[in-house]
Amino acid sequence: MSVRVSSRSAFPPVRRDRVIAQLPQSFRKEAALHIEEDFSSKVRTACQEQRTGTVGFKISKVIVVGDLAVGKTCLINRFCKDAFDKNYKATIGVDFEMERFEVLGVPFSLQLFSIKKKRRTTQTCVCFFSVVIIVFDLNDIASLGHARQWLEDALKENDPTSVQLFLVGTKKDLSSPAQYSRIEQDALKFASEICAEFWAVSSLTGENVTEFFFRVAALAFETNVLAELEKSGTRQIGDVVRINSTSSDPLAASKKKPSSCCQ
């Protein structure tokens, strides 16, 4: 398979089918995290001028949670391995995969974690997740009802204001049009309440799976680049203040308490 080699990172090369040049569109505009048709002009300019900081060398961590047997691992495997195993055994503890993308010419990595038990959500080696994907079965209304608890558990060790949320209904191929229509309305309402983006997919047929993960990667990338630009601007302002300061203590800035890994 053809790959695109990037000299900017020690990570494996990016596959040509993981290149994102345009912002992937949402599944339903009434439940979208990003209503614009394209990437922010700031992000495009930063990428063109190679001012994306450490984005190309970082790993953006994604946690996938939901009830047992809703298809979390099957969803990940369909995208990462283009495979579907209906006899796949339930995840015990934590499963994870790494995916590499190239977004607007910049390498970008997602690490996808599938969590089985709620108590394991905050006990993994991952301190901070930038994306939370809540999965439910489109044919099981109870699994949608449990989504709120999964969300609360996933956010216990994370700052809710810095996490992007996605609500994903699986097994779309098994839903009748009438059944799907009913549960979609409930899902859209819940997604709006928690400020999540809603998607409906089928891991069996692959419907919307690639589009969904491309959307996740693109929005996570844009968020990371904007954060880098903001930090860059803050550092420049801080440097001016420090240089013009009349303080006699040059070590004052180093006396701050170290931040925790989740900040």
For residues 64 and 133, the answer to whether their CB atoms sit within 8 Å is: yes
Asked whether residue 100 is domain-assigned, the answer is yes
Q: What is the pLDDT of residue 243?
A: 33
Asked whether residue 241 is domain-assigned, the answer is no
Asked whether residue 101 is domain-assigned, the answer is yes
**Count of domains in the chain?**
1
For residues 212 and 168, the answer to whether their CB atoms sit within 8 Å is: yes
The CA distance from 23 to 34, in Å, is: 10
The CA distance from 67 to 218, in Å, is: 26
**CATH number of the domain within which 98 lies:** 3.40.50.300
Q: What is the pLDDT of residue 232?
A: 82
Q: What is the pLDDT of residue 159?
A: 79
Among residues 121, 158, 166, which one has the least CA distance to residue 261?
158
User: What is the domain extent for residue 122?
Assistant: 11-229
Q: What is the pLDDT of residue 10?
A: 61
Asked whether residue 106 is domain-assigned, the answer is yes
Asked whether residue 1 is domain-assigned, the answer is no
Asked whether residue 131 is domain-assigned, the answer is yes
Asked whether residue 244 is domain-assigned, the answer is no
Mean pLDDT (10-residue bins), the chain, 263 residues = 46 90 95 93 96 92 94 94 74 74 97 73 59 97 96 85 94 96 97 97 97 98 95 54 38 38 35
Asked whether residue 236 is domain-assigned, the answer is no
